[in-house]
Structure 1
Amino acid sequence: MGSLSEVLEPIANQFEKLGIPDLIVHWGHPVMMAIVVLVMGNFIGFAGWRGRVAADTAIASKSLADHRKLAPWMFLFIALGYTGGVLSLVMQDQGILESPHFWTGSIVLGLLAINGTISMIGFGGNKVVLRTFHAYLGTTALCLLFVHAVLGLKLGLAI
């Protein structure tokens, strides 16, 4: 089996046949992911924390409902963006596994998958410790996304 880039090359070639402008190949992933992270990520993180700490039960309930509705969509968009970012690297003849940007993205995707799983199992019977872990793990993932963005900007300017 070849390198990851070699394995993904046939898929990247299909996208190259579409004639996507180089500017979009190069900067499309960061622009779209910036929207997802800055808008959705911040809103979802804020809603989750507001749901935990708001004294007004109506505000807390609405915030948690918003968090619950939007978080799976953010995970989907981040997973799709991750895929697009990897294919963009292949299309630009860049190494994948050598990139710290790739690794931070992979870690974030893993953290968010763990967080989603914790939520889907009902926080282990609504255990406070799992709800708290979920909140801090999600916050850690969002903070790491900002490190990821800095690494991505550095990568984008270097290519």
Structure 2
Amino acid sequence: MINVSEALEPLAAWFRSLGIPQPIVEWGHPVMMGIVVVVMGSYVAWTGWRGRLAQDKDESFNNRMSHRLLAPWMFFFLAAGYPGGVLSLVMQRHPIFESPHFWTGSLVLILLLINSLLTLGGFGGDKPTLRTTHAYLGSGILGLLVIHGVLGLI
């Protein structure tokens, strides 16, 4: 079985050889992902719920469109940041699979993928139950991201 840390060590060693300051190695990933989660995540959640709850049809439509446009970008940035977080662990010589932060990050991406599949499937023909599942799962993922952030800081 391949050891992921060992496989990534040559890349981590190359990045270490660049003389990147330790605060950037240690805090670059948390700062960038924190921005994505706080700014994009809160906006995606807010527009999603405003789209569901707004009484005015135009307001609901505009919020749903904003949600629909930004949510895939949030998923993209989180998925793009994932390997950076793993590489940061290797660069700092922390064991990857012993990190609860690694496991919560992995779970977040899996759940986001599942939630995305609900939308790509048109909510099974616009079934209210699947729309509700999407809303609550998305909110739960945002809560998990908060836990994920805390685990990354301790």
- Give the structure-2-normalised TM-score: 0.95
Question: Partner residue of 2:42?
Answer: 42
Question: Partner residue of 1:109?
Answer: 109
Matched residue type, 2:143: C
Question: Partner residue of 1:5?
Answer: 5
- 2:96 alignment partner, SS class: coil
RMSD between aligned alpha carbons? 1.1
Question: Partner residue of 2:123?
Answer: 123
Matched residue type, 1:62: N
Aligned counterparts of 1:100 and 1:84: Cα–Cα separation in 2: 16
Aligned counterparts of 1:21 and 1:142: Cα–Cα separation in 2: 31
Aligned counterparts of 2:59 and 2:122: Cα–Cα separation in 1: 21
Question: Partner residue of 1:151?
Answer: 151
Question: Partner residue of 1:14?
Answer: 14
Question: Partner residue of 1:82?
Answer: 82
Q: Please give the per-residue CA displacement for 1:54-73, whole angstroms capped at 9, x wherever unaligned.
A: 00111110000000000000
Which segments of 5 or more consecutive residues in structure 2 lack a partner in the other structure?
none
Aligned counterparts of 1:27 and 1:78: Cα–Cα separation in 2: 16
Aligned counterparts of 1:114 and 1:133: Cα–Cα separation in 2: 11
- Give the structure-1-normalised TM-score: 0.93
- 2:46 alignment partner, SS class: helix
Aligned counterparts of 1:125 and 1:85: Cα–Cα separation in 2: 37
- Report how far residue 80 of structure 1 moved: 1.2
Seen in structure 2, the aligned counterparts of structure 1 residues 15 and 69 have a Cα distance that, compared at 3 Å, is: same
- Report how far residue 17 of structure 1 moved: 3.6
Aligned counterparts of 1:121 and 1:21: Cα–Cα separation in 2: 45
Question: Partner residue of 1:70?
Answer: 70
